[in-house]
Amino acid sequence: MDSLWWFVAAIVLGIVEIFTLDLVFAMLAAGALAGGAAALLGAPFWLSMVIACLVAGLMLFTLRPWLLKSIRARSELVETNSAALVGTEARTLDRVSENSGRIKLGGEVWSARTRDDAEPIDEGQDVTVIDIKGATAIVAPESKGD
């Protein structure tokens, strides 16, 4: 009967993995399966727990990095949210310095800054987003060599 709880935990962790897709909960589910198998074979609870933790730890620190590396090698990782804005072009609405400024980015007005010790960028200039820090775009003047 103790093994049943391990298998229920593995199923719940597997369902959580479906929604997160980061392979952490899949590795924890594998540990729960190992703990359930140990309990099914008559191991005491403490030994089942040790086996579950060892298997989950091994999977997290050996198999997961390898799987992530191979998944990323086979397909291009699609950036989302603010990370997808890095590298896009914008236009300054105000003078942008390392302390203040605004840009029009993708039809929206964003607060913007330049990198520390960079020259201010005048109003109406084209810029490239080089980073996003919270709700502030870090920009640099668009290169003219393209």
pLDDT digits over 66-109, tens only? Answer: 988 887 777 666 666 777 778 889 999 999 998 889 999 888 89
Comparing CA positions, the residue from 130, 124, 78, 86 lying closest to residue 106 is: 86
CA torsion sign for 89, 94, 97, 99 is negative
**pTM (2 decimals)?**
0.53
Task: Give the model's pLDDT for residue 52.
Answer: 94
Query: Cβ(37)–Cβ(2) under 8 Å?
Result: no
**Least confident piece of the model among 14-28, 29-43, 130-144:** 130-144
CA torsion sign for 118, 99, 137, 108 is negative
Range 46-64 average pLDDT? 94
Is 90 exceeded by the pLDDT of residue 26? yes
Range 45-74 average pLDDT? 90
Mean pLDDT, all residues of the chain: 88
- The pair phi, psi for residue 133, each rounded to 5°, is -115, 100
Map out the domains of the chain with their CATH numbers: 2-74 (no CATH), 81-141 (2.40.50.140)
Q: Over the stretch 36-45, which tens digit does the pLDDT of each residue have?
A: 999 999 999 9
Is 80 exceeded by the pLDDT of residue 62? yes
User: What value, to the nearest 5°, has the Cα angle with vertex 28 and ends 26 and 30?
Assistant: 70
Report how far apart, in Å, the C-alpha atoms of 29 and of each of 22, 64, 65 are: 13, 13, 16
- The pair phi, psi for residue 96, each rounded to 5°, is -105, 125
